[in-house]
Structure 1
């Protein structure tokens, strides 16, 4: 089916709203395959059953005459009613031996990053794929994001040029990710400037980016009732560094007094680092107003103190864990996606001798991300918690006292000391525990 212009395409596409996949599956593709064994199956159903295109592996844009790529992807509804993309959107494989001679403009990925016609369906784990409801569609012009996408491409390319394709992580970039793309973790490919065989990777539009696109479309006027301030920043790291630049070398107390014009009376607040970053950088809920980058990026900003030798004073901790997060495999889990895609920005205060909290100096800002090999190590911890939950045995939890002190990702109490976090682990869905990354790994990542 050929379309003369965008208007004709969109008018035809409007008829897909309200349909399930079984209603348009004229080739009966869903009868003989599943989403787990055949990636892109729902896209093929839409291509063949709705647009009447033959099945093909053509690398050109789906609506070539219009320069538009068709994408079919799902969203899920959060408990608070908000919507988020179910997953990242895979584009095309990265050829590590070719990317070193490419520019963003000449790369194959650009053909997938001009205009996208996105067909949105609501994902429901309790339903079969054929019963997923197609609720909306949108034509998204990605040219407005090209500056950041180009910067992401150059970050990926730079790592390959350094012979570090095996160290690539989706957390390296803002919108355009380099996601692992293989059936097993043992799959490997080649890279031009190293003998180390990296995992195959594909260009992808990260989950947070797709969520931002979705939310802008669903509620364009009330979701953000302000106009985001545009700046020159292409990464969260650039933004944070720029904001903190005037305060390097100053103590926490000096910075706080300077930005608030008040002196700290009484005891020094334990969370003075966060109080400072919330003021200078902005709280999470405020950041989308400060820069559009934060509307489509996954980021995690943390303040830590470093001893003289660069070792973190404490492990890097995250939110409380829930039992229901372990009802899925690691590959399907929110935690794998979190550690894969998140941009981790670490604000470092230095302890020169034995300075107490409040008198440590702002030393540096570091960005860290996790390699495929490190994610494999994290998977061991995730799976060990699944074992403990299935057997309802807290002696199997991956904590230091149970013999898991060398794990890179550890289970630890969250909250007040002595809260019996492990003894009460099975009492409710939300536990008194959290994931923590050990000091040794964080030191290595900061020194990289």
Structure 2
């Protein structure tokens, strides 16, 4: 492949990248290059394929420089996998990593002059179709996109990404880099980066506690909206809370939409909305929540992009939730093939943000909208308690005890118990039997404590909680 492009010009570099469109590396590289690459291919090492593209397509040695890959053009090169979905077309396979977070410098940065923007303000993203059983040299590039992070994205998204960056910076400045979680933010995350061994930990300013190395990333769901081929289909399937050109964060728009319903009973809320539906319906509270948010469709674009899950919590008069909170049924076989850092449960708890809509029963039995809160599991609870339950579940399955998983008394944060449609709803185990479907649950008492903590740290002026 010839390298006849201008390294100082974004359009010239993009035109060179376009030569890859609908082709695989095997079709554009020389036989000599292929023979050099093939023996060293490592599908398991993340970033390896991107390094090959950087070196052999753009004649640039991979590095970890804080500068963009093409500094004179102020352009950063990214290579990321997509996969084919029968229903959605192409979707992202994983988050898009945008460089390491330097804990020592971020505490001095301002958004507009930040190291993050210096490196990532202009991105050239090469999307390739990942296929499990073929050589990386045969992956075909399906989309080549030049993205101006501050110019091409909707204004609301830019404001949210800035807010996310500021959230990460504030946590590091407070000496809490060790507590960072992808669930802290909406679109721009702080994902773990590096091995799971001790060498993945590093020092942080303003604290003696070592923190895991982390990188900035655009979340996988957010990337799906960039990858989407048919924007009209997305608009048809999703309602938007915010006009895309209104510079407002998700938290502030949710606050503005919900604050007028605080203190009302469900009957009063329905009257105010001019809608009436059967409270016995299984989807009643989810439908009511969407109506309060002025959403008519089941999917809300901002929540889909940010991996926000709405959960209705009904509190008894004592303040304890009526029930524990469930997650999808576990895969008895799959969980035995996972490592904790890449496990389904950890992903559900660390990458998701929850919007709790909290109702409380009055003395007369009326159910009243008490408050709402955005929540994600604190890092210490995730690593100390959720992991302990996950480990115990694996231990018992390995001992052929999938029908005897740790109950609510085992741990103050979560437990496992049946979650099937009925006693006949079963799933296979690694040891060949069928056992009732079960899932992980957050304990009702734990949810109560999290709601209490939110009330103590509430700051209405910003509108993050209410």
Q: What TM-score bracket applies, with the shorter chain setting the length?
A: 0.7 to 0.9
Give 1:136-285 correspondences, 5 Å limit: 136-143=143-150, 144=153, 145-184=157-196, 186=198, 187-215=200-228, 218-224=229-235, 229-230=243-244, 232=246, 234-262=248-276, 269=281, 272-281=284-293, 282=295, 285=298
Report the counterpart of residue 49 of structure 2 in structure 1. 42
**Is 1:14 aligned to 2:24, yes or no?**
no
Give 1:305-320 correspondences, 5 Å limit: 305-308=314-317, 310-320=319-329
**Is 1:297 aligned to 2:336, yes or no?**
no
Deviations, residues 23-65 of structure 1 (Å, cap 9, x unaligned): 54827345235243x4421111111111122343333212223
State the shift of 1:295 in Å.
5.5
State the shift of 1:221 in Å.
4.6
Deviations, residues 396-429 of structure 1 (Å, cap 9, x unaligned): 53445xxx7316343233355x6355xx332999
Alpha-carbon distance change, 167 to 233 in structure 1, aligned in 2, over 3 angstroms: farther
Equivalent position to 1:445, from 436, 450, 454: 450
Q: State how far apart, in whole Å, the 1-side matches of 2:316 and 2:266 are.
A: 15
Report the counterpart of residue 350 of structure 2 in structure 1. 340
Alpha-carbon distance change, 127 to 409 in structure 1, aligned in 2, over 3 angstroms: farther
Question: When the two structures are aligned, how many residues end up with a matched partner?
Answer: 430
Equivalent position to 1:60, from 56, 61, 67: 67
Q: State how far apart, in whole Å, the 1-side matches of 2:165 and 2:120 are.
A: 12
TM-score (ref. length: structure 1) = 0.83
TM-score (ref. length: structure 2) = 0.80
2:204 is paired with a residue whose SS is coil
The answer for unaligned runs of 5 or more in structure 2 is 455-466
Q: State how far apart, in whole Å, the 1-side matches of 2:445 and 2:249 are.
A: 27
Does the 8 Å contact 2:25/2:139 carry over to 1?
Answer: yes
Give structure 1 regions of 4+ aligned residues with deviation exceeding 6 angstroms.
427-431
Does the 8 Å contact 1:320/1:430 carry over to 2?
Answer: no
Q: State how far apart, in whole Å, the 2-side matches of 1:388 and 1:20 are.
A: 45
Alpha-carbon distance change, 89 to 12 in structure 1, aligned in 2, over 3 angstroms: same
Give 1:80-99 correspondences, 5 Å limit: 80-99=87-106
Q: State how far apart, in whole Å, the 2-side matches of 1:374 and 1:340 are.
A: 10
The answer for unaligned runs of 5 or more in structure 1 is none
Deviations, residues 45-101 of structure 1 (Å, cap 9, x unaligned): 111111122343333212223222110011122353533211112222223332222
Q: State how far apart, in whole Å, the 2-side matches of 1:407 and 1:381 are.
A: 10
